[in-house]
Structure 1
Amino acid sequence: MTDEPDQIRLLLIEDSEDDAVLVVNRLRRSGLRIDYERVETADGMRDALRHRPPDIVISDNGMPTFDAEAALHLLRSTGQDIPFIVVSGQIGEESATALMRAGAHDFVLKDKLARLAPAVQRELRDAWDRQERRRTEAALRTSEERFRLVEVQAAEQRRELERQLHQAERLDSLGQLAGGVAHDFNNILGVISGYTGFVLDELGPEHPCRPDLENIEDAARRAAALTRQLLIFSRLQPSQPEVVDLNEVVGQIERLLRRTIGEDIEFGIDVEPGLDCVTIDPSRLEQIIMNLVVNARAAMPEGGRLDIRTASADRVPATAVGAPPSSERFVCLTVADTGCGMDPEVQRRAFEPFFTTRGTGQGSGLGLATVYGAVHEAAGAITVDSAPGAGTRITVYLPAAARPVTAAPPDGTTGTTARGHGERILVVEDDDDIRAISRRLLTRGGYTVADAATRDEALRLVQDDDLAFDLLLSDVIMPGMPVLEFVETVQRARPSIRIVFMSGYTADSDRRLPEGVPIVNKPFSKETLLHQIRTTLNSGSR
């Protein structure tokens, strides 16, 4: 690596002098010697790049006439290899993804400037490494080329490992951003699903509005699945594997798949009867199917044929991507299309995060990467068979699992929605609509319900000797008292009370949940909520 300069030349694109000083002071307090120039127009940036080339560019994204996207485009047009970091008060998930795909090296929120100095140091080291690489490549063209070839190859491998590490760091940044909005977004979806369900309960099966409401309900479920997909992909939400029947899952989402692919695509499903089960998170299995189908649909813009097949297999081909499963029997899911196909280079990068062959704004590049992550987590493997103009066939191999013995429901019912017997439930939720929906569902389900908008209010109700609650249903992420302290206080006041959590996003390192307490994921259905409440009351879980 080249020697680091004594002083770092910083070009700061910022229309606020106060914010500029804040950024520079933060870097200087980290031990960096900064010589900076502030500009706020394209002409100012163009002049600085031409006459006073910087070591690094930091750009605000909130300026009214010259944002980070325009600054990045201007920098790339000069051909200069200069790191570009976005610093913004707020930035949307799509904007952040688009900027990184366009060439931004990182983004840092202004309320988390502690990340800025390490990001600057990292990107400067990368830039200096690239300069060294260019000098090395020039030297290789001299008489010493043969003797230095091995050394260069080793450096290439090291830089590739560093690139992969930096990619992981960027994914972590995107994941933190996703986690910040997941909770509120799932609450909104819960409101849509909840009130849609109430209206559907009042309409007869032949009502003309029923198909429209069912489409709204399906759309809300798909949006919830996409949110969960991003959280799982970002390692912010753990998967919950269970033994599932692949044929059943395909059958359950067939109607949704048919609407997704459109009428210009011939669609066929061929499932092998008596297929073994697999062990995987059902949501992740649905994501695998949906992402493969969406990818196949995108490869056939002018129509074609798409087939889904399930089958059993005794081995995994040697060409499979991923570690070969250790099972002796496998369940296969194949999605085949007659679309444009993939050349070898596209196949090589097909499962790479953020890689996409679609135009800007037409794909996130996370679809097949998420498929690979889900299959790898389930100890499976994938094969890709494709060629330009010859369509694509992707097969997922998952270890077979024995079909579980069906047990009778704990309340003695035979598959109908579990109902209450007048038990008293306290709902603790700061979102007014979710609180109202939960209360309404539970009341209709046969329970006596009270609610509280804050944990302090909930504690007053729990400690009231005239009230005897059987179960507490509480959101995980709420302002005020930490969730663990809240649960411990409730249990000291009422040792016999049962507890169930509900949340759209629980992976927060600052919040520790007590072990053994079940969680209902938002947005939840009436059946899911009532079943969990009944199961918890019957089992005595606390």
Structure 2
Amino acid sequence: MRIPLFVSASGILVLLALGFAWTFQALGATYERSYVRAWRSSWLALGAYGLFAGLALLAVNVPGLAPLRSAFSLGSMLAAFVHIRALLAGMEQLCTPERPASAWPLRAVALLIAAAGLLVLVPVERRSDAAMQLYLIRIGLLALAWGIAYTAAGLLMLRRPPGTSALGRLALLVTLFAYAALRVGEPATHFLGPSPVLAQFLTFGGLPLLVGVGAGMLITLLEVEQARAVEAADARSAAERTANESEATLAAALATSSDPVFIVNRDGTLASANRRFVELVSQATGMVLSPGMSLEALMDEPTRAFWTDALPRVLAGEAVVRLKRFRFASQAELRAFSVRFTPVREGGSVIGALVVAHDSTEEERLRHEMARREEWFRSLIENASDMIFQVTPDALIEYASPSVDRVLGYDHLRMIGQSGFEFIDPDDVPTVADALRRSLERDETVPTVVPLRARTAQGDFIPLEGVSRPYTERDGSERLIVALRDVRERQRLEDELTGARRLEAIGRLAGGVAHDFNNLLTAVAGNVTLLKLKTAEQAGIGEHLVEIEHSVQRGAELTRRLLAFARQQRIEPRILHIPTQLADLERLLRRLLGEGILVDLDVPRTLWSIRADATAFEQILVNLAVNSRDAMPQGGTFRVAGQNLTVGAGGRESLNLAPGDWVQLEVEDTGGGIPPELVGRIFEPFFTTKADRGGTGLGLATVYGAVTQMGGQVRVDSTPGRGTTFTMFFPRVIAPHETAAPVAKPALPQAAAGDVVLLMEDETPVREVTAKLLRRLGYEVLAAADGEEGVALAEARTGPISIVVSDIVMPGIHGDVACARIRERRPDVPVLFISGFSQEALRWQHGMPAGARLLSKPFTLDDLALSVRELIDGR
């Protein structure tokens, strides 16, 4: 009885499913939604399920279809899975499109249907108890799958899809849950016994529920689309309102714009115009514009030519922008307008032209002013005496000013693309590279001016001073602007000012030098008196002679200092023992500083030696002492302290010294100090804070240059109101007395047999004592009181002359002239000049003769013996 019922129900289900599938197919053409397509697929799959399920039931009682029963059953299960999958997909796309799909219901359904399918394939005897048991289990698995699927669909509808009302949502909820309950309860009929009423209810009761599901889907679809249509209509309405408001705003802006705006038709007549255009035309012509008026009638000849050239191009669809000068009123100034013509289109064709004229007179004036300023700045750079460069961070030249041609002799255009380091003295490249790097890093400690030497086109090097400033291009790349100045003329002036400063210092030293000389002369005179008194006794003469010799040596040293300080001598570095130098300078420093300043020399005798020019070292201390004296007008303390310093392989970050041994020398005062904003400039040439007191700004620059030339470094630390400390670091050198035992003094070289000396000296005491010294050494001496007498003696002598010893500055002819005459007949004779002036201070009439030597006065017996012997032997 139940088999025909099921077959009938399957047929009705197929028709019902096809009907709903066709309905959703028709709606899909109107509403192209993904969930509509999914529901159409679910109804088609449900129809296929009903078809295969009916065939499987027929196969039970129709022997011809019996072999296909398993295939029909498996087909119905597959169709059921496709139906459930499409149903759930449509529900998720409708209700939760923003969330990822939940996979567990579909996986559970797939697992249950697969299990039921496997049971279909289990081989059992037909119409047996085992077959019935497998059938009941399969029916239960399928019922549970249907129940899970439709329950999950109902739960999705509980999330209230947007745009659904109570009717559609309620219909779907009730029918989905009811159909799920019906399908789950269907297997129970097999255990309740035969009941035709119950069988018919369970068989045909699901069909109305499926009708309810389909109807709920349709109602929900229509409700959602209706809501979307309302939203779309509201959006269009809002867009239209916005467009209308924008159009009204634009119209108001054009009407009130300060720029004249108007529209012309294709025939050149006026279509519309804003208030500003009407006002300008009225001012110029006295006419009132109206639509349809020809504009060419209002134009002068130049404007008409401008108009007839631009309008046809705009009507052809081209946008045109022109700059034109107009005079709208007869007495108004000629003003520049930027006129923009834009085609006005309607339906794809040009019906006129929109003309906007912007008064750009002020912009044009600013543009011309900027061009004029740019030309002015370009002319300023190109005609500047300083050389201006633009370089990359790696010193590649991108721009060079024409002043390079005048200063260095290169074509400035050919320098572009080359490295700036190629034109710098190799010794200065590390310093310049470091300054550029620090300038690029915007390091505030970079010196304001960096000295360097540059190679000219002729191959020689000239002194320059460089200043660099970083800037950033628009693309973010870094560049440097470098200005180089030729300082040859300034260095010449510096030399003159340095000489003036030396003369000033000599004036201060004069009293002290005279005092020291009086003391020395007193000591010499006293010892000579004692020597005369003890001559008869022959006792103590050696002691007095030693004292006299020491006094003379001290006088010679004072004279050498005075000459070296007053004149420009060559720098002659030698090994200096700082404690010894300070001991000799102590009296000088006390006299320079005055009685109100306490001098404290805290320098141990174990201080290492350095290599330096003695005069330059003394200038360092004298300049620092003068600065300290000026900083302590009310008195104070001037302290010099020294210590040995060893820097390890890692260096000292705070000192920035290379690894090795250094001698540290500190010069400290308790004066007023230096303001922080001036500390970074005190070593600049010509920078001074004492301009009102005659300062030249060269004292500390000389200190910096001298210390640097000795391979050292100088630091300054100053606190206003508490004083200033200059710390200098000099590289250590190993003095001979620090590594080896003293060498015994060699015996004085004596004269060889027949050696004759021609001596020319105008000072009688010097001539007599020199002759005695030479005779003591075994030489035969021919003494002359001046150059003329010396030349006569040389001409009168027939025998050889081994050497000529001559003063330079003498009455009559000078020594160099006399020696030149003697050498005319005796070209190989060596010459030893003796003079109280340094070689640089002497004014040679014919220059230093070849093979000659200068011995400065006063000299010792050792100096004289060695010089004479070396010249004779060297001949």
Query: Which category of TM-score, normalised to the shorter sequence, fits these structures?
Result: 0.5 to 0.7
Task: Report the alpha carbon displacement of residue 410 of structure 1 after superposing the two structures with TM.
Answer: 4.0
| Selected match of 1:329 from 641, 657, 661 | 661
Question: Does 2:594 align with 1:243?
Answer: no
User: Equivalent residue of 2:680, what SS?
Assistant: helix
The corresponding residue for 1:504 is: 838
Question: Does 2:744 align with 1:408?
Answer: yes
The corresponding residue for 1:32 is: none
User: Equivalent residue of 1:238, what SS?
Assistant: coil
| Selected match of 2:770 from 442, 455, 469 | 442
Within 5 Å, give how 1:109-508 maps onto structure 2: 154=481, 157-158=483-484, 161-162=485-486, 164-172=487-495, 200-204=523-527, 225=561, 227-229=563-565, 231-232=567-568, 237-315=569-647, 328-358=660-690, 362-404=694-736, 405=740, 406-411=742-747, 426=758, 428=760, 435-436=763-764, 438-439=766-767, 442=770, 445=773, 450-454=783-787, 457-465=789-797, 468=801, 470-475=803-808, 483=816, 486=819, 490=823, 493=826, 495=828, 497=830, 499-502=832-835, 503-506=837-840
Question: Does 2:847 align with 1:519?
Answer: no
Q: Matched residues in 2 for 1:327 and 1:484: separation?
A: 54
Q: Matched residues in 2 for 1:531 and 1:265: separation?
A: 41
Return 5+ residue gaps in structure 1 as ranges. 5-145, 181-188, 208-213
The structure-2 alpha-carbon separation of the partners of 1:510 and 1:260, relative to structure 1 and needing over 3 Å to count, comes to same
The structure-2 alpha-carbon separation of the partners of 1:221 and 1:532, relative to structure 1 and needing over 3 Å to count, comes to closer
Q: Matched residues in 1 for 2:529 and 2:669: separation?
A: 36
Question: Could you tell me whether the CA contact under 8 Å between 1:288 and 1:371 is conserved in 2?
Answer: yes
Q: Matched residues in 2 for 1:290 and 1:317: separation?
A: 30
Question: Could you tell me whether the CA contact under 8 Å between 1:439 and 1:449 is conserved in 2?
Answer: no
Percent identical pairs in the alignment equals 25
Q: Matched residues in 2 for 1:311 and 1:292: separation?
A: 19
Q: Which amino acid aligns with 1:382?
A: V
Q: Matched residues in 2 for 1:196 and 1:490: separation?
A: 44
Question: Could you tell me whether the CA contact under 8 Å between 1:276 and 1:331 is conserved in 2?
Answer: yes
The structure-2 alpha-carbon separation of the partners of 1:200 and 1:229, relative to structure 1 and needing over 3 Å to count, comes to same
Task: Report the alpha carbon displacement of residue 262 of structure 1 after superposing the two structures with TM.
Answer: 2.3
User: Equivalent residue of 1:291, what SS?
Assistant: helix
The structure-2 alpha-carbon separation of the partners of 1:216 and 1:485, relative to structure 1 and needing over 3 Å to count, comes to closer
Task: Report the alpha carbon displacement of residue 269 of structure 1 after superposing the two structures with TM.
Answer: 1.4
The corresponding residue for 1:13 is: none
Q: Which amino acid aligns with 2:767?
A: R
Q: Which amino acid aligns with 1:533?
A: L
Task: Report the alpha carbon displacement of residue 493 of structure 1 after superposing the two structures with TM.
Answer: 1.8
Task: Report the alpha carbon displacement of residue 223 of structure 1 after superposing the two structures with TM.
Answer: 7.6
Q: Matched residues in 1 for 2:675 and 2:812: separation?
A: 52
Question: Could you tell me whether the CA contact under 8 Å between 1:499 and 1:541 is conserved in 2?
Answer: no
RMSD: 5.2
Q: Which amino acid aligns with 2:840?
A: T
Q: Which amino acid aligns with 2:854?
A: I
Q: Which amino acid aligns with 2:706?
A: A
Question: Could you tell me whether the CA contact under 8 Å between 2:771 and 2:783 is conserved in 1?
Answer: no
Task: Report the alpha carbon displacement of residue 337 of structure 1 after superposing the two structures with TM.
Answer: 0.7
Q: Matched residues in 2 for 1:230 and 1:496: separation?
A: 34
More helix by share: 2
| Selected match of 2:867 from 524, 528, 536 | 536
The structure-2 alpha-carbon separation of the partners of 1:443 and 1:509, relative to structure 1 and needing over 3 Å to count, comes to closer
Within 5 Å, give how 1:45-60 maps onto structure 2: none
Question: Could you tell me whether the CA contact under 8 Å between 1:241 and 1:279 is conserved in 2?
Answer: yes
The structure-2 alpha-carbon separation of the partners of 1:326 and 1:260, relative to structure 1 and needing over 3 Å to count, comes to same
Question: Could you tell me whether the CA contact under 8 Å between 1:319 and 1:383 is conserved in 2?
Answer: no
Q: Matched residues in 1 for 2:831 and 2:847: separation?
A: 18
Within 5 Å, give how 1:21-40 maps onto structure 2: none
Task: Report the alpha carbon displacement of residue 535 of structure 1 after superposing the two structures with TM.
Answer: 2.3
Deviations 1:23-44 (A, max 9, x none): xxxxxxxxxxxxxxxxxxxxxx
Question: Could you tell me whether the CA contact under 8 Å between 2:600 and 2:638 is conserved in 1?
Answer: yes
Q: Which amino acid aligns with 1:254?
A: E
Q: Which amino acid aligns with 1:257?
A: L
The structure-2 alpha-carbon separation of the partners of 1:249 and 1:193, relative to structure 1 and needing over 3 Å to count, comes to closer
Q: Matched residues in 2 for 1:342 and 1:329: separation?
A: 31
The structure-2 alpha-carbon separation of the partners of 1:241 and 1:538, relative to structure 1 and needing over 3 Å to count, comes to same
User: Equivalent residue of 1:329, what SS?
Assistant: strand
The structure-2 alpha-carbon separation of the partners of 1:347 and 1:264, relative to structure 1 and needing over 3 Å to count, comes to same
Task: Report the alpha carbon displacement of residue 530 of structure 1 after superposing the two structures with TM.
Answer: 4.0
The structure-2 alpha-carbon separation of the partners of 1:453 and 1:165, relative to structure 1 and needing over 3 Å to count, comes to same
Task: Report the alpha carbon displacement of residue 248 of structure 1 after superposing the two structures with TM.
Answer: 1.2
The structure-2 alpha-carbon separation of the partners of 1:368 and 1:488, relative to structure 1 and needing over 3 Å to count, comes to farther
Instruction: Tell me the matched-pair count.
Output: 360
Question: Could you tell me whether the CA contact under 8 Å between 2:833 and 2:854 is conserved in 1?
Answer: yes
| Rg larger for | 2
Q: Which amino acid aligns with 1:306?
A: F
TM-score (norm 2): 0.34
